[in-house]
Amino acid sequence: MTGGRSGAIGGVEWQTSLLAKWFAARGWRVSMLTWDEGGPPEEVIDGVRVIKICRRDAGLPGLRFFHPKWTGLVRAMRAADADVYYQNCGECVTGQMALWCRRSSRPFVFSAASDADCDPHLPELRTRRERVLYRYGLRQADRVIVQTLTQQRRMRECFGRDAVVIPMPCPGPGDGQFQLPSPQTERVLWIGRVRPVKRPDRFLDLAAACPELQFDLVGPLFQDDCCQMIQRRAVTLSNLTVHGPVPRDRLGAVYQRAAVLCCTSDYEGFPNTFLEAWSYGLPIVSTFDPDGLIASRQLGVVVKDVAEMAQAIRALLSSPDRYRQMSENARRYYLQNHTLEVVMPRFEALFREVAAQVRERRAES
């Protein structure tokens, strides 16, 4: 189960689906709980049992939170009858799942999706109900997983929870398909959800500041104020192409056309786009640096604002030797830390451990 408000498929949902399919292929009985967006109430996809909770807009306003959403979640969790329940991204569902697991003596594992889940102000949770339920779920979780050492420290300082760091998995090109990128393409890529916290407006400012370069913005566009502003400004920039959403099976070609990935966010967790870019050997120029990895491992350049971003990109693209070194560093870091072969066994070991501990507690009681 993954959290979040938008309903769009992003890094959290993609990584959770990777986990589900990998475990199913290993012989685990895997169920995934989702909103009902059509089709039968249950179906099996790639070996994973998909159980629909209800439609996101089902029920009466003011009451739908309790029925059919909460009651549907309980029904789906009961139907899954799992040995371990896993949820990614802090929200009210964190507490709802933890409560059911506690009453049913089932282990619950929570995974933080971003730094916002480790912030005591919980900036992504707008209502008191969401914040109360999330804090409860965090307290009751049998294990908490985070993506970075910074998140681990913040979980301990701000919520009194010990957490285990497990990098997120990311499939990428094998050695036979991999080619080092070239700075000569002079294409700068931005990819993600077009949301205010991602600051896509900075990317447009960057395109305006660097008319000699080409810029590609990839991500779903909705009818909210942020997306409409981006679309209005984009038509005034001849060197910017807004692609909208790109199917996952075509994303590889998008990364291969680029010379640099650009991140303009105020905060993140450990963006899936970073892992994908590094799997293709792309350096990253970013306002956000998880655990200081970009700077310390020379995987790109960390900047504070658009002016520094423009300077860093120009310097990198005009320095072939430095570019090649960062590209090789990026690919090496990905292979050592984020392939499915490296990451998935760590999740499997944790799930086995927590399931065994809960079984022992049951036996003792």
CA distances from 66 to 62, 74, 153, 154, 237 (A): 9, 11, 34, 31, 47
Instruction: Give the amino acid at 10.
Output: G
Q: How confident is the model at residue 267 (pLDDT cuts 50, 70, 90)?
A: confident
Q: Which whole number is the average pLDDT over 164-177? A: 92
Say what the pLDDT of residue 10 is. 59
Side chain identity at residue 22, one-letter code: W
pLDDT of amino acid 297: 97
315 residue type, one letter? A
Mean pLDDT check: name the lowest of 8-22, 41-55, 209-223: 8-22
Residue 332: strand pairing partners: none
For the chain, list the strands marked E by DSSP: 31-34, 42-45, 48-52, 85-88, 108-111, 143-146, 164-165, 187-191, 214-218, 240-244, 260-263, 284-286, 300-302
Q: Which of 254, 313, 193, 200 is nearest to 302 (CA)?
A: 313
Q: Is the pLDDT of residue 11 over 90?
A: no
Look at residue 176 and tell me whether its pLDDT is greater than 60: yes
pLDDT at 209 over 90: yes
Q: What percent of the chain has pLDDT over 70?
A: 97
Confidence category of residue 258, pLDDT binned at 50, 70, 90: very high
Going along the chain from its start, the domains and CATH numbers come out as 11-168+340-364 (3.40.50.2000), 183-337 (3.40.50.2000)
SS (H, E, C) 208-231: HHCCCCEEEEECCCCCCHHHHHHH
